[in-house]
Amino acid sequence: MDERSFRQQCKTRGIRLTEQRLAIYRALSTAKDHPSTDTVYRRIKNRFPGISFDTVNRTMLTLVDMGLARLVEGSGGGRCFDPIMEPHHHLRCLKCHAIIDFHNESYNRLRIPRKLPQGFRALGKIVVLEGYCKKCGTSKETKS
């Protein structure tokens, strides 16, 4: 996800490149934690107190549309955003809902079946391993 292609795509699509949109882009592209819209909103609200949640939400979905980020399912069922478009996989903590990136060559080579239910057309794949992160896995039986 690089800023040049963001600027370029805004131009081609006739989207005005405001300070706010740029801030949203930067907040997402530098995030290491697969943030939700809410998280990004809270991160930039300090600098842009007048920004609306809706603007953040729409801009993040535009970034997905531009192919600069992708949507991932958070384990709380919430929508999270991933700025990394290169093939990688996820470790998902069932307790704190953290999503941790990991790389695995054999998962990258997994073949998508040609026939999928209901005429589904797969564009990509991501392997999600569920379990407990280091923090949650070692603190068993403690209050949550």
Q: Which residues bind Zn ion (CB under 5 A)?
A: 82, 93, 95-96, 98, 101, 133, 136
Which is nearer to Zn ion, 47 or 134 (by Cβ)?
Answer: 134
Count other Cβ atoms within 10 Å, centred on residue 78.
12
Could you give the dihedral angle defined by the CA atoms of residues 118, 80, 126 and 87, in that order, rounded to the nearest 10 degrees? 130
C-beta of 24 vs 82, nearer to Zn ion: 82
For the bound state, the minimum distance from the C-beta of residue 98 to Zn ion, rounded and expressed in Å, comes to 5
Min dist CB 70 to Zn ion, Å, is 8
- For Zn ion, the closer CB: 42 or 88: 88
- What's the min distance (Å) between Cβ of 60 and Zn ion? 15
124 to 38, 52, 68: CA distances (angstroms): 26, 32, 14
- Smallest separation (angstroms) from Zn ion to the CB of 95: 5
- Based on CB atoms, which residue is closest to Zn ion, 51 or 136? 136
Structure tokens at 82: 């991933």
CB of 35 to Zn ion, least distance (A): 11
Which tokens belong to 47? 């600098």
> Percent helix, strand, coil in the chain (nearest 5)?
40, 15, 45
Q: What is the C-alpha separation between 36 and 57, in angstroms, rounded?
A: 9
Comparing CB distances to Zn ion, the nearer of 56 and 82 is 82
Residue 99 tokens read as 């999503």
